[in-house]
């Protein structure tokens, strides 16, 4: 009976993986086909004629290198900024005692229930007043603080015994030194999880870059691909090539760091 249950479980998992991967396989396959094979019936997953020139055509029709550069810069700045603010805030909420700590943390958690769309207008007005439209500052600064990341890392920091912190304080260790020498190295899985989630969110962000940029050289990949969609029309092989360029870097990063995501998520929920 156990063998039958395991067999059924494996079959369900394999089918789920196939269903999940099917759109990605079709996207990559279509990106390598000539236009004449895209609408062929019955459809073929393996192109008869592999056409890598689709990617070159995309690069010549839109400044894909500039879009890629903008996305990399924005993802890097947002991720580094989020890690800095998250580490400092999580340490304060987990190990330091100050008046109103739990109340402030509860308010922060409450903000997670506010839809992000409600903050678009206030954020845009602030960015416009500061003169940050069409700048990297406007694209990154509002997103360098993440309440979810603070919550996740705080839960991880709570698993570190407070007695260790107090012992370090008695030995003359400063809060900053204890944080960077002991807590940050121990929290490596959680930090990598936070960084990867932030990279993915920043890389795929569409609405905010669309709002705060109107110059072609400041567009990110999602916004650039959206504009390319209207220009390419029915050239679905070119559209799939452009989409593949957007997705492949994230898949590579996730493939190499997936074990840290699982470790960070599981260990962060041990103590509440």
Per residue in 234-257, pLDDT tens?
677 888 888 888 888 888 877 777
Q: What is the pTM of this model?
A: 0.81
What's the average model confidence in pLDDT over 62-73? 90
Q: For 236, left (φ over 0), alpha (ψ -120 to 50), or beta?
A: alpha
Per residue in 4-27, pLDDT tens?
788 888 888 888 888 888 888 888
Per residue in 79-128, pLDDT tens?
999 999 999 999 989 888 888 888 999 998 888 888 878 888 888 999 99
| pLDDT above 50 for 270 | no
| pLDDT above 80 for 43 | no
Rounded alpha-carbon distances, angstroms, from residue 196 to 75, 105, 161, 202: 10, 24, 27, 10
Where in the chain are all domains bearing CATH 1.10.3720.10?
56-267
Q: Is the dihedral of CA 27, 28, 33, 35 positive or negative?
A: positive
Q: How much of the chain exceeds pLDDT 90, in percent? A: 17
Residue 71's φ and ψ, nearest 5 degrees, are -65, -40
With H, G, I as helix, E, B as strand and everything else as coil, classify residue 183: helix
The CATH classification of domain 56-267, taken from the options 3.90.550.10, 3.10.129.10, 1.20.1560.10, 1.10.3720.10? 1.10.3720.10
d(CA 36, CA 49): 10
**DSSP characters for 209-263?**
HHHH--SGGG--HHHHHHHHHHHHTT-HHHHHHHHHHHHHHHHHHHHHHHHHHHH
Q: How much of the chain exceeds pLDDT 70, in percent? A: 93
| pLDDT above 60 for 259 | yes
pLDDT tier at 272, thresholds 50, 70, 90: very low
């Amino acid at each position: 009976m156990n063998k039958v249950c395991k067999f059924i479980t494996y079959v369900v998992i394999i089918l789920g993986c196939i269903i999940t991967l099917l759109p990605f396989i079709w996207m990559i396959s279509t990106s390598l086909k000539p236009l004449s094979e895209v609408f062929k019936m019955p459809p073929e997953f393996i192109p008869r004629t592999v056409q890598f020139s689709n990617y070159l055509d995309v690069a010549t029709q839109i400044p894909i290198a500039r879009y890629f550069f903008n996305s990399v810069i924005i993802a890097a700045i947002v991720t580094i900024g989020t890690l800095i603010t998250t580490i400092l805030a999580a340490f304060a909420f987990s190990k330091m005692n100050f008046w109103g700590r739990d109340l402030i943390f509860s308010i922060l958690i409450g903000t997670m229930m506010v839809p992000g769309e409600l903050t678009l207008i206030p954020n845009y007005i602030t960015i416009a007043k500061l003169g940050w439209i069409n700048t990297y500052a406007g694209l990154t600064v509002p997103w360098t603080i993440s309440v979810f990341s603070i919550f996740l890392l705080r839960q991880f920091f709570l698993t570190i015994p407070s007695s260790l912190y107090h012992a370090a304080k008695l030995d003359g260790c400063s809060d900053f030194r204890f944080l960077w020498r002991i807590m940050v190295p121990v929290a490596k899985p959680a930090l990598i999880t936070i960084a990867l989630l932030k990279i993915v969110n920043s890389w795929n962000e569409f609405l905010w870059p669309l709002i705060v940029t109107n110059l072609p050289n400041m567009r990110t990949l999602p916004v650039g691909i959206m504009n390319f969609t209207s220009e390419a029309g029915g050239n679905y092989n070119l559209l799939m090539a452009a989409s593949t360029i957007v997705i492949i870097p994230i898949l590579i990063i996730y493939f190499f760091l997936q074990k840290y995501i699982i470790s960070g998520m599981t260990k962060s929920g041990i103590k509440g």
